[in-house]
Every structure is written in structure tokens, then in C-alpha cells.
Amino acid sequence: MTYDNANIFAKILRGEIPCHKVYEDQDTIAFMDIMPQAPGHMLVVPKAASRNLLDADPATLGKLMAVVQKVAVAAKAAFAADGVRISQFNEAPAGQTVFHLHVHVIPMHEGQRLGHHGGKQEDGAVLAANAEKMKATLAKV
């Protein structure tokens, strides 16, 4: 399986399509999932190209997971969550739909049922407000 740089996250990384970004450093970005399974659902994405975890450079994974932790801690605080779900899918039979490595960070509340994976597109204003909430929290942690 090869990496196709026409995938949607490669386009976001090149600035060709917009996203509600919450975090960026030299190696990694994080932004709001456009079809959140719960309020505050984010994606953490390495800038280095790989289809998924299976073909990624281990050094990329190390930097990626450090940001996943930072975003998860901030998400728990920002959305007053009881827990945080981290998920990551490799190839279509496992649920992957966008073929650039990414990790889902989903704030969870007691008794909450997750929405459908790749379900309904969220209103831009809601995504923007949630991104602002996250950025404000990340600035403090």
C-alpha cells in the first residue's frame, strides 16, 4: 500500500483546505474532527507522510504520542470530561477512511454513548467554539 498525497489530511497539512486547528508544532498538528463522535472530538496528525501506524517511522510515533497526551489532558479539562478515548485505525477493514496517520482524541462523559464514526458534519461555528476552548486550555497546561 502506498501513500497518496491527495488525501484530505495531506491537503489540510499543505493549507489547501481549512481546518479548526487547536495545536501545531514542528512535527504535529491537531484539529477538530469535522464529524465529531462527541463534542470536542479531535485528530492529532503527524506532518510526516505515512498511511497509518503500520508504515510510520517509530520516531514519528514517539513525537505524535507526546502530543496525543498533551491534547488528551487538555481535552479532559476543556470539556469537563470524565475520561478520554484514544483510537486509531489501520486500513479500511479496521475502520480507516483517511489514509494519512492520525489519532482520534474524544472527550467522554459518564453514561455517554458515542455517535457514529464518520456520521454527521458539525456546524462550523460549533467546531470553531470548541477549537477556541481547547486553545485557551492548551495555553494554560
Is 43:33 a contact under the CB 8 Å cutoff?
yes
Tell me 4's DSSP state: -
Size of the site for ligand 5GP (CB under 6 A): 14
**What is the three-class DSSP state of 70?**
helix
In terms of Cα–Cα distance, which of 140, 69, 65 is closest to 101? Answer: 65
Give the nearest residue (CB) to ligand 5GP.
35
- Minimum CB separation of residue 8 from ligand 5GP in Å reads 5
Residue closer to ligand 5GP (CB basis): 19 or 108: 19
- Options 21-29, 57-65, 76-84, 90-98: segment touching ligand 5GP (CB under 6 A): 90-98
3-class SS letters over 47-65: CCCCCCHHHCCHHHHHHHH
Please identify which of the residues 20, 41, 100, 102 carries the catalytic annotation. 102
3 contributes a contact to ligand 5GP by CB under 6 A: no
Can you list the positions of beta strands (E) in the chain? Answer: 21-24, 28-32, 42-46, 83-87, 103-108
- Where in 29-58 is the site for ligand 5GP (CB under 6 A)? 31-35, 43
Q: How far apart are CA 87 and CA 25, in angstroms?
A: 21
102 tagged catalytic:
yes
Per CB under 6 A, the list member of 16, 24, 82, 118 interacting with ligand 5GP is: 118
58-78 helix and 124-138 helix, angle to the nearest 10 degrees? 100
- Minimum CB separation of residue 15 from ligand 5GP in Å reads 13
Per CB under 6 A, the list member of 19, 30, 108, 131 interacting with ligand 5GP is: 19
The site for ligand 5GP (CB under 6 A) is made up of 8, 19, 31-35, 43, 89, 95-98, 118
